[in-house]
A = this chain, B = another copy of it.
Amino acid sequence: MPDYAEPITRLIQQLKRLPSVGQKSAERMAFHILNNWSKEETGVLAEALLDMKEKIGYCSVCNNITDVDPCQYCSDPTRNPKLVCVVQQPHNIVAVERTRQYDGAYHVLMGALSPLSGVGPDQLKIKGLLERMKAGVIEEIILATNPNVEGEATAVYLSKLLKPLGVRVSRIAMGIPVGGDLDYGSFTSRACRQDVSAASQAV
């Protein structure tokens, strides 16, 4: 005999497929929806789910996720097309945008080099970036891949690939977060352990 009525059990099973949602959380969610949401409110969530899968695609220029092609950043005439920020995933664009310090274009690699997981240069959207450079508009490429082993490896690979093509290639600064407190900074990253001469050179 199943624990809950079949439609609830099925919903709990489905909710458990979401990241960080286990049996208890899924049960709590299902009962929350059952007890507190109206049929219309539940319909809005169901529609939002289907709508997203239906409408969201990838930008043909930068691979950003978008409901229009080209995406809002690629089609915005106020943005600087000479500058391209390379990120691993579409949601990384939002992190860069939130700084409100960047007004250039983007390019999403859809991953990072990770030989152990079978991700080599051919699995990344590097070809599209090289295509974009052929137009001769791009002057600088900022490598904003993640500050971890895979991101670093990808940045080094791209740097070696792109520099000979005559563009300026830069990497986002890494170190303790600006505006924080030295006590709470992490001193494990390579960037934090660079010597003073290198640091002043970077400045």
Contact = CB atoms under 8 A, between A and B. Distances in A.
A48 interface: yes
Interface string A30-54: 1111100101011111111111111
Interface in A99-115: none
Copies of this chain present: 2
A88 B8 CA distance: 19
A28 interface: yes
Contacts of A71: 5
Interface stretch (A15-23, A137-145, A195-203): A15-23
Interface residues of A, number: 56
Interface in A1-17: 1, 3-8, 10-11, 13-15, 17
Contacts of A21: 29
Nearest to A43: B50
Contacts of A45: 14-15, 17, 46, 49
A155 interface: no
Given A49-B45, A94-B3, A29 B34 contact: no
A161 interface: no
Nearest to A90: B31
22 contacts: A1-B72, A5-B56, A5-B66, A7-B56, A8-B52, A10-B48, A10-B51, A11-B48, A11-B49, A11-B52, A13-B48, A17-B41, A17-B45, A19-B28, A27-B91, A31-B90, A31-B91, A34-B52, A34-B53, A39-B54, A42-B52, A45-B46
Interface of A: 1, 3-8, 10-11, 13-15, 17-21, 25, 27-34, 37, 39, 41-56, 65-68, 71-72, 89-91, 94, 97-98
